Chain A
Amino acid sequence: GAGVSQSPSNKVTEKGKDVELRCDPISGHTALYWYRQSLGQGLEFLIYFQGNSAPDKSGLPSDRFSAERTGGSVSTLTIQRTQQEDSAVYLCASSFSSDGGYEQYFGPGTRLTVT
């Protein structure tokens, strides 16, 4: 079946502009996660959604970052007033929500470059 998809695959934006990154999780997955990977770094947790529960936003680096998940499916990560340090690959993942269901399936990522 279809995996996690993300769009756009690449985004170049000017400093100060807002950007929206989209994630389509695997159908039937109730949990959705956002991570980012800066150059030479590991994946950094940003936010995760689990069903109808309030999202865990503890990884968002600043209030310029926000995310929504509509209808328990598609998610949008919004970065307002982008800064050069926001340049990274933004990865979305989804998983079944079950005891011990830790396997997260990742999308290919969106490479964001802020000039």
Chain B
Amino acid sequence: DQQVKQNSPSLSVQEGRISILNCDYTNSMFDYFLWYKKYPAEGPTFLISISSIKDKNEDGRFTVFLNKSAKHLSLHIVPSQPGDSAVYFCAASRTDSWGKLQFGAGTQVVVTP
């Protein structure tokens, strides 16, 4: 039962343009959401997070938007840089079981010069 879904397996974007990654979830009990970035042969690294009490969180070039009514979140990267080429995972958790992150399948982002 996939509770966190990333329906776009890949995304290609030109350097300097905006990358928009989408994530949908089905469990309304999720109250914390995270994005992780993964390079080949490395473990995922934390990128940005958002609590369900907010609808936006920004950190430099990265902004996460949360639409609770639609059970949808998105990650915006602007401007995109070649070093952003990686797999991005969306993850969600519940306060009563915060150790159990539920991950999406990931989106491979390729930033072209």
Contacts and interface: CB of A to CB of B under 8 A. Distances in A.
Interface of A: 4, 31, 33, 35, 40-45, 48, 50, 56, 58-59, 91, 93, 100, 102-109
A95 to B, nearest CB: 8
B43 to A, nearest CB: 3
Contact of B41 (A41, A43, A105, A108): A108
Give the residue among A33, A48, A104 with the most B Cβ atoms within 10 A.
A104
A41 B34 CA distance: 17
A108 B106 contact: no
Contacts of B6: 42
B100 A102 contact: no
Given A35-B101, A41-B105, A42-B105, 17 more contacts: A33-B99, A42-B106, A43-B103, A44-B103, A45-B101, A45-B102, A48-B100, A56-B97, A56-B100, A102-B101, A103-B46, A105-B45, A106-B44, A106-B45, A108-B41, A108-B42, A109-B43
Nearest to A45: B100
A109 B44 CA distance: 10
Contacts of A104: 46, 101
Interface of B: 4, 6, 32, 34, 36, 41-46, 49, 51, 89, 91, 93, 97-106
7 contacts: A4-B43, A42-B105, A45-B101, A45-B103, A48-B100, A58-B100, A91-B44
A42 B99 contact: no
Nearest to A6: B43
B103 to A, nearest CB: 4
A29 to B, nearest CB: 12
The list of the 9 closest CB pairs from A to B, nearest first, reads: A106-B43, A42-B103, A43-B103, A48-B99, A42-B105, A103-B46, A106-B44, A45-B100, A107-B43
Nearest to A46: B100
A98 to B, nearest CB: 10
